[in-house]
Amino acid sequence: MVEKKISRSELKRGAILKAAMAEFQAKGFKATSMDDVARSAEVSKRTVYNHFSSKEVLFSAIILEMMALLCSFEHLNFSNDIGLEEQLQQLVDYEIALLRSQAFMDMARVIIAEAIHSPALIQGAMEEFSKQESPLSSWFHSAVDAGALNCQSPEILVTQFTGVIKAFCFWPQLVQGADFPGDEEVALITQTAVQMILKQYA
């Protein structure tokens, strides 16, 4: 299988997104100019505008990149032929692999900071984000539809499941700069998240 060659335009677009994330994280959205992004990406300001017509469009693209990254990680389709516990354990593994990703964490920092300081800015982008169902959400919807889990709202399951994981593998790292949990703690987090779903909804 021949790998698709990345075009020069795609390389520049990627460089602009990476530079924008760094600038937004360092200065905030309002204080960052398109000149700053162009300088950091080592491209002309015209090149930046050729890819992104405004700073708002550039920010929206970062959110969509985050969603694309989320969906690019290995994911699991629900199966009636595999035990629930085994599938849930795999889901935790995949979620933790995503949260270990530096690219995901960098994007999260930018988006969450602006959600606090400029909520109107991210409203449109988040509407686009919400239109796309994540692989994790898809698994829980399928499990409920198949009768394997008993809950009227699969999204409640997703929120509870990810809430346990992110309490140890996302928020402390994002807010406090904490180290990622070691293998023993990850194993305990996995067991806690899995058993919570099984005992309450299976």
pLDDT reported for residue 1: 44
**Residues 95/104, Cβ–Cβ less than 8 Å:** no
179-189: pLDDT as tens digits: 999 999 999 99
Query: Which residue in the block uniquely carries the two structure tokens 């530096």?
Result: 102
Averaged pLDDT, 68-75:
76
pLDDT exceeds cutoff 70 at 30: yes
Name the architecture of domain 1-53.
Answer: Orthogonal Bundle (1.10)
**Domain map (residue ranges) of the chain:** 1-53, 64-201
176's tokens: 């406090």
Share of the chain above pLDDT 70, in %: 93
**Residues 100/180, Cβ–Cβ less than 8 Å:** yes
Instruction: Give the CATH H-level superfamily of domain 64-201.
Output: Tetracycline Repressor, domain 2 (1.10.357.10)
Of 70 and 102, the one with more pLDDT = 102
Angle formed at CA 100 by CA 32 and CA 154, multiple of 5 degrees: 95
**Residues 176/170, Cβ–Cβ less than 8 Å:** no
**Residues 165/100, Cβ–Cβ less than 8 Å:** no
- pTM for this entry: 0.80
Averaged pLDDT, 82-97:
95
Of 197 and 3, the one with more pLDDT = 197
pLDDT reported for residue 189: 97
Model confidence at 2, in pLDDT bands (50, 70, 90)? very low
Helix (H) or strand (E) holding 174: helix 171-176
d(CA 8, CA 105): 26
**Residues 168/176, Cβ–Cβ less than 8 Å:** no
